[in-house]
Amino acid sequence: MDELLHHPENDDCYKGLKVNKGVSNMPIINPYLNRTRRKKLTVKDYVDGILAGDITILSRAVTLVESLLPMHQDTAQQIIEQCLPHAGRSMRIGITGVPGAGKSTSIDAFGMHLIKQGRKLAVLAIDPSSERSKGSILGDKTRMEQLSREKNAFIRPSPAAGSLGGVARKTRETIVLCEAAGFDTIFVETVGVGQSETAVHSMVDFFLLIQLAGTGDELQGIKRGIMEMADAIVINKADGDNVDKANLAATHFRNALHLFPPTESGWRPRVLTYSGFYALGIKEIWDMIDEYRHFAMDSGYYHEKRQRQAKWWMYESINEALRSSFYLNEEVKALRPQVEQQVLGDELSSFIGAQRLLECYFASLGARTELPTELS
């Protein structure tokens, strides 16, 4: 045993060799690490930090806004209420388009154009959430390489979380916080074009639709819904051999827009071509957006539209609160499995099942409410 433990370097013939003793059983965690917990901020701390333009505190406040915990929601509402008088001074632009149209790359180019003009830009990128795992990659920021390095740019990816229109449920509240933090331009990037995607229109001043050329029949995408809400259509990837295709697609869209009725604002939607990758035609697009803003402000439509949006979101908030109250009700949660099994077993129709759950909900509130005729 002694022979096994004998180390040759300890032999007398190696006296000139200095051997340091090894260390055994090193701790997994550094014992000298000074751990400090993040300070829990008060509502006043949040508001003061946001008004001072502190990006870190702004990010933490947005996290509270997106949280589903009742305690966080109460704090977030207090923060929003105090930030509201300092909001409303930005230009809000919604950007949508088919998947792969280059929305994130275009935002990078648009954003750098604004940053060079001394503007402050906030980008709220909505990523699609998986219907199976409910997770979201939140990878849009990786395609905004230049913009993500700018100190006057704030990029916040958020999961859609199944909300209607591809716009995260709390995006409008986040816009208020960003405006209070001093950002004069807000980009809202949606998950991709669709007939229900138009919810973005209810929270922005200008709606930009990005399209591609050479992907088949360009007129196929011209349908009532998102097309008639667009204030401008821009054809991306107008570079190299694709320039002629982009110009042809732009002509098709211009002709098609003549078939739509006049807009409420009186503005005639424009169609332009550009290249987000090579940053070509970016100035012309932004000049057009500036022209629209002056046009809408001079006609009074700008202020009128924001008032309508505030009213619409008030009712949306009511709908969301009622929905949450219904599904979190303890008596409803107890009855739901039984009713679901009866509906699945064809013992009850879907409408009768809904009626029973609603009657249970109203009874738990002590209210006697007449149900709509379609459910009675």
Long-range Cβ contact pairs of 115-118 (< 8 A, separation 24 or more): 115/147, 115/150, 115/152, 115/153
Q: Are 122 and 265 in a shared domain?
A: yes
Q: The whole model's pTM is what?
A: 0.79
Q: Are 158 and 93 in a shared domain?
A: yes
Number of domains comprising the chain: 3
Q: Are 43 and 93 in a shared domain?
A: no
The three-point CA angle 343-344-347 to 5° equals 50
Q: Are 153 and 251 in a shared domain?
A: yes
* CA–CA gap between residue 160 and residue 192 (Å, rounded): 11
Q: List CB contacts of 84: < 8 A, sequence separation 6 or more.
A: 176, 180
Q: Are 135 and 80 in a shared domain?
A: no
Q: Which domain holds residue 217?
A: 87-299
Q: Are 64 and 98 in a shared domain?
A: no
Q: Is 118 domain-assigned?
A: yes
Residue 106 sits in a domain whose CATH number is: 3.40.50.300
* CA–CA gap between residue 68 and residue 63 (Å, rounded): 10
End-to-end CA distance of the chain: 89
DSSP type of residue 275? B
Residue of 278, 292, 106 whose CA lies nearest to 190: 106
Q: Are 69 and 100 in a shared domain?
A: no
| Rounded mean pLDDT for each run of 10 residues along the chain, 376 residues in total | 60 71 74 77 94 94 88 92 92 87 89 94 78 54 81 86 57 92 92 60 89 63 68 91 90 85 88 91 95 94 92 84 88 94 92 93 76 53
DSSP type of residue 241? G
What are the start-end ranges of the H helices in the chain? 2-5, 43-51, 55-66, 70-83, 103-115, 171-180, 226-229, 243-257, 282-299, 301-328, 330-344, 350-364
Q: Are 96 and 188 in a shared domain?
A: yes
Q: Are 47 and 65 in a shared domain?
A: yes
Residue 54 sits in a domain whose CATH number is: 1.20.5.170
Q: What's CA 337's distance to the chain center, in Å?
A: 33
| Per-residue confidence (pLDDT) for residue 166, from 0 to 100 | 41
| Per-residue confidence (pLDDT) for residue 126, from 0 to 100 | 79
User: In which region does residue 152 sit, left (phi positive, over 0), alpha (psi from -120 to 50) or beta (all else)?
Assistant: alpha
Q: Is 20 domain-assigned?
A: no
Q: Are 176 and 295 in a shared domain?
A: yes
| Per-residue confidence (pLDDT) for residue 11, from 0 to 100 | 73
DSSP type of residue 260? S
Both tokens assigned to 26:
């090193």
* CA–CA gap between residue 7 and residue 331 (Å, rounded): 75
| Per-residue confidence (pLDDT) for residue 196, from 0 to 100 | 45
Both tokens assigned to 272:
């332009």
4-to-1, 8, 23 alpha-carbon distances in Å: 5, 11, 19
* CA–CA gap between residue 299 and residue 317 (Å, rounded): 29
| Per-residue confidence (pLDDT) for residue 198, from 0 to 100 | 61
| DSSP string covering 288-305 | HHHHHHHHHHHHTHHHHH
* CA–CA gap between residue 114 and residue 164 (Å, rounded): 30
Can you tell me whether residue 340 is helix, strand or coil?
helix
